[in-house]
Each structure stands twice: as structure tokens, then as C-alpha cells.
Amino acid sequence: MIHYKTREEIELIRESAQLVSRTLGVIAEIIGPGVSTLDLDKIAEEFIRDNGAIPGFLGLYDFPNSLCTSVNEQVVHGIPNDRPLESGDIVSVDCGVLKNGFYGDHAWTFEIGEVDPEIKKLLKVTKECLSLGIEQTRAGNRFGDIGFVIQEHAEKNGYGVVRELVGHGLGKKMHESPEVPNYGKRGKGGKIKNGLVIAIEPMINMGTKEVRQLNDGWTIITGDHKPSGHFEHNVAVIDGKPEVLSTFEYIEKALATREGIVA
């Protein structure tokens, strides 16, 4: 059953989503070659707690950390470790928080140092898939409309759309009904209504859509070990239209500032 949210509840989810956005902004200031994903995890956990929230992933289904950090061929659910990131890597940093009883959950795939242009294109297209999906999140549309535009854009570029993992409703629980697949048919699936809050999170593979899970019981990797991109936003339907509750603004500002320093 889908739990539609009141305006008040949506504002509380926005507050949680914005804290995730700010946490990812802090990550954007420090991520780079030589930094480990475990370093990022510690900084994120501290920042979340300092802001009166608790990490949303830590302990959820027994996940051991505050961030999911998925490097290169890892799609999602990667466990932070002490390997220093290297130039050419990409890493999806997925972060959740619980504040005032409501979750926020969003993600960005970072480029480490100099990244291959083909991989940069994968990330650009994955981010475009997210925007296209958000645009379809309107009252009267159906969930299949979201999946359709994401799948169409990814496949047009020759990429694989992961089937086993999907976006989801979000609220008092991190994962609520409905499932929000990144594939689908136009006009199919449940109707989108005001008060819906979902996490849209395309997971787009450079090669095959097939994935498998590592023996750690968590990490999902691509079947052909080619890289995968992942971007996620939290979106509410208000007055019939999509409203993005999270923001990439803090990340983009931090990255632009750093590039300015390098130049």
C-alpha cells in the first residue's frame, strides 16, 4: 500500500533529504585520489550526527556503515573500505539519514581525478535519465512512464538498465511502496497521485544489464565488470507536479570551487 504524505510530512522528508544533500556536499569537498571510502564514511557519519540526525543506512538490514560506496563495476550497496581511491575511479556515494522520524536517501557518482571520457559520458547520461524520470513524476502519469523514459534514454546510448534493483517510496521507512523501476512501458503501472514521495535512482551499466552480488552479501557488481553509474533524488508530487526534495547544489558548488583551485 502506498502511503501518501501530507504537506507537513513532505516538509519533514525535505529536511532529511536536504541533510543528505549537505552531507554529499561535504563529501564533494574532500573526495579524491588517496582518500578511502572508509574515510568518507566516518566524515559523513559525524556530519549527520552533528546535525541532529542518525545515519539511515547504518544497521538497516544489518548494513555495517553510514554510506554505500560503490566503485567502478560496483553498482550499489558497496561497503566502505580502506583502499585509497585512485585517479580514473568512479564512486557512487549513496547516503541516507533519519531525522524527525523521516528518511532522506540520495546519491551521486563522483569522478576521481582524470576519468576516461567514455565513463564521463556514462555518468552524464545516467544523470540525464534521472532528470527525465523526475519530469514524468506527475499526477495522472503512471509509474511505467518514469521507467520508460529512463530505459529509453539509457538504451539509446547503448547502456544496460539494471532490473534487479529499483527506486522506491520513502517516508517513515527508507523503503516503502511502490517500487519505481528504471524500465517500463508507457501508460503501464499504478497512477501517480499528489502526496507521493519516491526515490528515483537510475542504475545504468556501460555494458550488460546483468548484475551479481559479491560474497560479502551486499555489493552488487556488473556481470561484465564494466562501470556503472548511479544518481538518486527524492521527489514529491505537489499540486500535480514533481518537486525535488533533495538537491545536487552543494555537490556542484563544491566541485566547481575545487576545479577553480586546480585551474
Q: Which residues bind Mg ion (CB under 5 A)?
A: 94, 105, 107, 199, 232
Instruction: Write down the least CB distance from residue 100 to Mg ion, Å.
Output: 19
Query: Which residue lies nearer to Mg ion by CB, 78 or 113?
Result: 78
Query: Which residue lies nearer to Mg ion by CB, 94 or 111?
Result: 94
Cα separation, 28 vs 93, whole angstroms: 10
Query: Which residue lies nearer to Mg ion by CB, 3 or 118?
Result: 3
Instruction: Write down the least CB distance from residue 90 to Mg ion, Å.
Output: 16
Query: Which residue lies nearer to Mg ion by CB, 101 or 118?
Result: 101
Which positions ≥6 away from 100 have C-beta within 8 Å? Answer: 12, 15, 16
Query: Which residue lies nearer to Mg ion by CB, 213 or 257?
Result: 213
**Contact, 86 vs 112, CB < 8 A?**
yes
Instruction: Write down the least CB distance from residue 107 to Mg ion, Å.
Output: 5
Is residue 82 left, alpha or beta, with left meaning phi > 0 and alpha meaning psi from -120 to 50? Answer: alpha
Instruction: Write down the least CB distance from residue 16 to Mg ion, Å.
Output: 12
At residue 106, what is the residue type?
A: H
- Is the torsion defined by CA of 75, 235, 197, 130 positive or negative? negative
Instruction: Write down the least CB distance from residue 19 to Mg ion, Å.
Output: 14
Query: Which residue lies nearer to Mg ion by CB, 56 or 113?
Result: 56
Taking 3-state DSSP, the helix, strand and coil percentages for the chain, each rounded to the nearest 5, stand at 35, 25, 40
Instruction: Write down the least CB distance from residue 235 to Mg ion, Å.
Output: 11
| CA nearest neighbour of 160 among 224, 206, 223 | 206
**Contact, 96 vs 60, CB < 8 A?**
yes
At residue 33, what is the residue type?
A: P
